[in-house]
Structure 1
Amino acid sequence: MIKVLFVCMGNICRSPMAEGVFAKTVQSAGLDTQVVIDSAGTHDYHVGDAPDLRAQRTALSHGYDISALRGRQVQDSDFERFDYILAMDRQNLNNLTRRAHARHHHKIRLLLSFSRRFPNLDVPDPYYGGQQGFDQTLDMVEDAAQGLLKIIQGQGRDQPG
């Protein structure tokens, strides 16, 4: 069983979009019984909240229903539990790395390190912007989801250590 956690700041825009996209990607590949997917925020601003309505609408317009997801904050146990802890940007990557014990640092990466089109970039936070930001987030996440799937299927160049 491979466990993947997507992380942004509040867990209402980027990380739930990534969770929804990757869940459908994994399901389409027939691996949904072999991969556990979740999302969380580094901050507790939106614990228990549904994803932002703009994120929900954008995801749904591409076939991803994220309406049932609820925000939660990263817990210390997540560093032990998950194989991949994928931050949306460097700020959250740094927050996660500072919080985690050194033995878990190899699990923490930028989501876009798996992207072909946007390698190692930050997924910009669309919260304070317009629809274009949510569209861009979805585009970036979809690309990275394909790269991550290839790694999980053993077709890629690296595995979690």
Structure 2
Amino acid sequence: MTVNVLFVCLGNICRSPTAHGIFEQKVKNAGLQDEIVIDSAGTGGWHIGKSPDARASQFALERGYDLSHLRARQTDPSDFLTYQYILAMDNANLADLKRMKPSSYKGHLGLFLDFGDNPQYREVPDPYYGGDDGFQLVLDLVESACDGLLLDIRHQL
């Protein structure tokens, strides 16, 4: 059984590639890379084909997560045929995904931080226009939610 996971933010250069890279490493560390397929996308198409934001990549790498192989893409209705988990970084992107979702979709569509352990945050804040602290907060929130997501998926494997 293979489980497919898609992380979604607005432009696919900060939050969702950070989640993609961190979850990829955690899945690899758990020896589950043959059972879990990971991707990320943005609801907007401005950055298609571009690498993650340099700050996101730098801070992720400082924690041992390599984002350099990732390239931005836009969500597509066919994603609902491929991914059992489609996880939005915030409510605005979740609303966009819900409008795109076919009625036949039986997977998990929701907020990524529902798998985290910090009740203060329901959404991953967009660090793009802020300072370095915002990227560090994203990493903290995403690491925790990745642990919770991996635990949830392990119960299904």
Check whether TM > 0.5.
yes
2:66 and 2:15 mapped to 1: Cα distance? Answer: 14
| Residue correspondences, number | 155
Residue identity over aligned pairs, in percent, reads 50
- Residue type of the partner of 1:73? Q
Instruction: Write the deviation string for residues 74-109 of structure 1: whole angstroms up to 9, x where unpaired.
Output: 011101100000000000000000111122275211
2:134 and 2:38 mapped to 1: Cα distance? Answer: 24
In the alignment, is residue 82 of structure 1 matched against residue 104 of structure 2? no
Q: Which residue of 2 aligns with 1:55?
A: 56
Q: How does 1:83-102 map to 2 (within 5 A)?
A: 83-102=84-103
The answer to whether the 8 A contact 1:118-1:140 is kept is no
Return structure 1 stretches of 4+ with deviation > 6 angstroms.
none
- Residue type of the partner of 1:87? A
Q: Which residue of 1 aligns with 2:16?
A: 15
SS at match of 1:39: strand
- Normalising by the residue count of structure 2, what TM-score does the alignment of the two structures yield? 0.95
What do you get for the CA RMSD once the two structures are aligned?
1.3
Instruction: Write the deviation string for residues 9-46 of structure 1: whole angstroms up to 9, x where unpaired.
Output: 00000000000000001111110111000000001010
**Unmatched runs of 5 consecutive residues or more in structure 2:** none
Q: Which residue of 1 aligns with 2:71?
A: 70
Q: Which residue of 2 aligns with 1:130?
A: 131
Q: Which moved more, 1:106-115 or 1:52-61?
A: 106-115
SS at match of 2:78: helix
2:41 and 2:48 mapped to 1: Cα distance? Answer: 9
**Unmatched runs of 5 consecutive residues or more in structure 1:** none
- Residue type of the partner of 1:129? G
Residue 146 of structure 1 and its aligned partner are, at CA, apart by 0.3
